A and B are shown apart, each in its own frame.
Chain A
Amino acid sequence: MDFTYTETQDMIRDTLSRFLADSYGFDARQKMINSETGRDPGIWSALATELGMLSAPFAEEHGGLGGGHVENALIMEEMGKVMAIEPYLQTVVIGGGALKAVGGAQADAIIPSIIGGETTIAFAYAEPQGRYDLANVRTTAKADGAGYVLNGHKGVVYCAPWATHLLVTARTGGGHRERNGVELFLIDANLPGIVRRDYPTVDGNRASEIYFENVAIPGDALLLGGIDLIEHIVDNATVAVCAEATGVMAKLHEGTLDYAKQRQQFGQPIARFQVLQHRMVDMFMEVEQAKSMTLYATLHLDKPASERMAAVSQAKAKVSRGANFVGQNAIQTHGGIGITQELAIGHYFKRATMIENQFGSADYHYERFERIVIDEAN
């Protein structure tokens, strides 16, 4: 057993955190969010070319650093600390993860351009009726000659307005909600028949409703692996989001401590009130446990499916609850100033809130954990 980071991993973290500290100050982030396109694409190219950050989890044969889940987790944690709105999760963790899993010509063709920053990917999986069930898919991919024709509606696709490619789940067969027949496709985001409605999200990102109206896609858009592959990459993504949450939660806690030490009421810093001290201790314990659970799940991502899923659901359930607790209490401890747009703390709270339900609420993951560990084992 060894929980220490390698030198390379430490270097990745240091380089990234220094870069983000410079480029992602609160005001700079606000400016990006409120700009026309909602981001500064220069940052993404800097991450790719100056820092080589997008190569971290990829194999050397593709020009990568040869890392994997641990690298993704630590990069996501740093992104969380500054509430980065970069499409790292969608492009590298999810899109890149799917390509790594299928390998072959598809991986060879696209991974280098992910590393280079030219390809950005959005993950179009959720449907209005589907909640968090990955097999609840109505979007269809009908075989048509050598290719397929896509029809359907995907909702709340984060980062879609910026994407060059879409990673889409669609049904080639099987009934609605059947596991069989759900497949994964990586397609050009600008094909004829793709209609997008873009909008900002409450946590400062951009997303889209995406409608596929008889979209013809080539046969090699299919990433073979079906629902098992989809579940695997969503588990990877879920842990990445947990890692992001540890960054967000740490900042919520840190910001609260700083504020409580400096805010004076009744002639003393409010940090002196024991009820607030205990609360900040409870927040601290949630942050620590979130870090532990993220590590636990990270190290289970390549285990057999049921073990992996049980670990990921434990982590997400715990992190969702923790993010809720830490976020709410950060605001409460700040008093009025906590509910304004002026301080970063409120923005961290909003991101923490969206993380709670991203890739499944606490309840969803409790249920999945129960099914795997209690029902199926007995």
Chain B
Amino acid sequence: MDMEFSAEDIAFRDEVRAFIADNHPDMSAKKELGEEMSKEDFLSWHRILHAKGWVAPAWPKEYGGTGWTATQRYIWSEETARADCIRLMPFGLSMVGPVIYAFGTPEQKAHFLPRILSGEDWWCQGYSEPGSGSDLASLRTTAVRDGDDYIVNGQKTWTTMAQHADWGFFLVRTDKDAKQQEGISFLLIDMKSPGVTVRPIITLGGEHEVNEVWLENVRVPVSNRVYEENKGWTCAKFLLAHERTGIAGVASSKRGIERIKDIAKSEQDGDKPLISNAFFKRKIAELQIDLTALEFTELRSLAGEAAGKGPGPESSLLKIKGSEIQQRITELALEAVGHYGAPYFRGFGEGDNEHPIGPDYAHRAAPTYFNTRKTTIYGGSNEIQRNIIAKMVLGL
């Protein structure tokens, strides 16, 4: 047993670090203004990584992965978080991509995988419906065969970034009479198809991040179905297991804690910086300790996987603890900025450099706190994750 990096690992780390330093687009201006990232911003880093061949470290090498060891992937996520790199959208790279290389036809693989890697296609995930959230298998969107097509009707909701999406992967009901999970199919739908309507849902911080997606008599070629008809649930379950890469968000939470320390060094509490307030310091310490516990739980679970144990239901632990920590970080940041959590940056008028409204780091504190409530709701709510542990791990 050993937790030190080898000399090769350290050389790899240095290479990664240098690459990021030399190539990552400069987003500092945008961040200072508290602006949201555009599709182009997201894609700028994606394309750079694609050119380097590093865009999909988790994929098998034959489909365009990097062939890195688990340790190298760990280093990669550490370094990208440390440098605050632009997030890569997960819907293609971490979700539908793996489903396609695991279950897709040769034609589907040849067509879609390269376009996911290059960023040419932007994907969204059409699972949830107004009546089917936690109880996903009750979904009602239907797909009825008509020659070589399906005719799809229904409504999806919470579809993240669908406003930018070229393609969506959808769960639809192809057999109304079968038991819930058994009548579902996995369809790839061109978002530009006639009958697809995307309407924004604005979330608490004012973001346009999620959408309603209406499907009205949308024609989808049967060749866009992944895996067998009525076996879509198998793909969905596989995808869930794969989502676990990075589900704990350890690296980015580390960065988050560092950010709070920076804020707390700038904020004054009497004649001292806030970071020396005993109560505040203790909260940072608690967070950091909980994050260490999470990190080592994740590393143990990765080691188990490397030793051949498939990802199991204990990944629910990573989701629960990881999301709670993410929320506590945003909560502490909001607490740290004091009065300046209140100004709503989206409403700031034309800039007045002489009279700024609070420190830059305060501008997004409240909206981020509000927005991050989502992490315990999506991807299987934390209640559902606890049910999974109770049932699958504890046998209750």
Assess whether A341 is in contact with B202, with CB atoms less than 8 Å apart.
Answer: yes
Q: Is A108 an interface residue (CB 8 A)?
A: no
- Chain B CB within 8 A of A55 CB: no
* Residues of chain B contacted by A367 (CB below 8 angstroms): 279
**CB <8 Å contact, B355 and A211:** yes
**Chain A, 324-343, CB within 8 A of any chain B CB:** 328, 331-332, 335-336, 338-342
- Kindly identify which residue among B134, B269, B339, B370 contacts A266, using a CB–CB cutoff of 8 Å: B134
A332 to B342, CA, bound (A): 22
A240 and B325 CA atoms in complex are apart in Å by 33
**Chain A residues near B352 (CB, 8 Å)?**
197
Residues 157-216 of A contacting B (Cβ, < 8 Å): 158, 177, 195, 197-203, 205, 207, 209, 211
Q: Which of A132, A275, A340, A349 contacts B386 (CB 8 A)?
A: A275
The reply on B126 being an interface residue by CB < 8 A is no
Interface segment among A222-230, A251-259, A350-358: the answer is A350-358
* Contact indicator B271/A156 (Cβ below 8 Å): no
Cα of A332 to Cα of B324 in the assembled complex, Å = 12
Instruction: Tell which of B204, B348, B366 touches A340, judged by Cβ atoms closer than 8 Å.
Output: B204
B144 at interface by CB-CB < 8 Å: no
- B contact residues around A276 at 8 Å (CB): 383
CA distance A366 to B349 in the complex (A): 37
Among A128, A264, A336, contact of B358 (Cβ-Cβ < 8 Å): A128
Q: Within 8 Å CB of B204, what residues of A?
A: 339-341, 346, 349-350
- A202 and B201 in contact (CB under 8 A), knowing A336-B378, A363-B280? no
- B252 in the interface, Cβ–Cβ < 8 Å? no
Least distance between A215 CB and chain B CB atoms (Å): 15
- Cβ 8 A contact of A155, one of B210, B267, B339, B367: B339
> B373 near A207 (CB under 8 angstroms)?
no
Q: Does A131 contact B (CB under 8 A)?
A: yes
Also in contact, A177 and B271, with CB within 8 A (given A131-B338, A336-B158, A338-B377): yes
Return B327 CB to nearest CB of chain A, in Å: 8
A340-B367 in contact given A133-B270, A155-B358, A264-B131 (Cβ < 8 Å): no
B197-228 residues at the A interface, CB under 8 angstroms: 201-206, 210
A340 and B202 contacting across the interface, CB-CB below 8 Å: yes
Contacts of A199 in B (CB 8 A): 343-344, 347-349, 357
User: Do A339 and B370 form a contact, CB below 8 Å, given A199-B348, A266-B134?
Assistant: yes
CB of B377 within 8 A of CB of A335, answer yes
* A335 close to B134 (CB less than 8 A): yes
Known contacts A201-B343, A340-B202, A350-B370; is-contact A357 B338 (Cβ 8 Å)? yes
B341 interface residue (CB < 8 Å to A): yes
Does A275 lie within 8 Å of B383, measured CB to CB? yes
**In the docked arrangement, what's the CA distance between A357 and B158, Å?**
31
Q: A129 touches which one: B205, B268, B367 (CB < 8 A)? A: B268
Question: CA A357 – CA B279 in complex, angstroms?
Answer: 15
Contacts of B132 in A (CB 8 A): 265
A340 near B342: Cβ-Cβ < 8 Å: no
Does chain B have a CB within 8 A of A3?
A: no
* A353 and B355 form a contact (CB under 8 A): no
Whole-angstrom CA separation of A287 from B49 in the bound complex: 51
In the complex, the chain B residue whose C-beta lies closest to that of A130 is B268
A366 to chain B: which residues have CB within 8 Å?
279
Bound-state CA distance A378–B280 (Å) is: 25
* Contact (Cβ within 8 A) A340 B203: yes
Specify which of A132, A155, A177, A202 lies most central, judged by the most chain B CB atoms within 10 Å of its CB.
A202
Contact code string B247-276 (vs A, CB < 8 Å = 1, else 0)? 000000000000000000001111100100
Docked complex Cα distance between A30 and B206 (Å): 13
Are A338 and B373 closer than 8 Å at their CB atoms? yes
Contacts of A209 in B (CB 8 A): 355, 357
A136 contacts B by Cβ under 8 Å:
yes
- Asked if B313 is at the interface (CB within 8 A of a chain A CB), the reply is no
What is the distance, in angstroms, from B204's C-beta to the closest C-beta of chain A?
5
A156-B339, A273-B383 known; A195+B355 contact, CB < 8 A: yes
Q: Hey, which chain B residues are within 8 Å of A336, CB to CB?
A: 128, 133, 157-158, 210, 374, 377-378
Contacts of B386 in A (CB 8 A): 275
Interfacial chain B residues near A156, Cβ < 8 Å: 339-340, 342-343, 358
Q: How far is the CB of A237 from chain B (nearest CB, A)?
A: 14
A47 within 8 A of partner (CB): no
A342 contacts across to B, CB distance below 8 A: 201-202
Complex contacts, B268 vs chain A, CB 8 Å: 129-131
- B335 on interface, CB distance cutoff 8 Å: yes
Considering the complex, give the chain B residue whose CB is closest to the CB of A328. Answer: B373
| Cβ-based interface call for A126 (8 A) | yes
Q: Which residues of B contact A130 (CB under 8 A)?
A: 268
A282 to chain B, nearest CB (A): 14
The answer to whether A341 and B203 touch across the interface, beta carbons within 8 angstroms, is yes
Check: A139 CB closer than 8 A to any chain B CB: no
Bound CA–CA A354/B335 (angstroms): 10
Q: Give, as a whole number of angstroms, the nearest-CB distance from B152 to chain A.
A: 22
B203 adjacent to A155 (CB under 8 Å): no
Chain A residue nearest to B383 (CB atoms) is A275
CA–CA, A338 and B128, complex, Å: 15
Known: A275-B386, A354-B341. 10 other contacts (CB 8 A): A197-B352, A200-B347, A201-B343, A202-B205, A202-B366, A264-B131, A332-B377, A339-B374, A353-B334, A361-B335
B residues whose Cβ falls under 8 Å from a Cβ of A: 128, 131-135, 138, 157-158, 201-206, 210, 267-271, 274, 277, 279-280, 334-335, 338-344, 346-349, 352, 355, 357-359, 366-367, 369-371, 373-374, 376-378, 381-383, 386
A-B contact pairs, 6 of them (CB 8 A): A200-B347, A202-B205, A335-B134, A339-B370, A346-B370, A354-B342
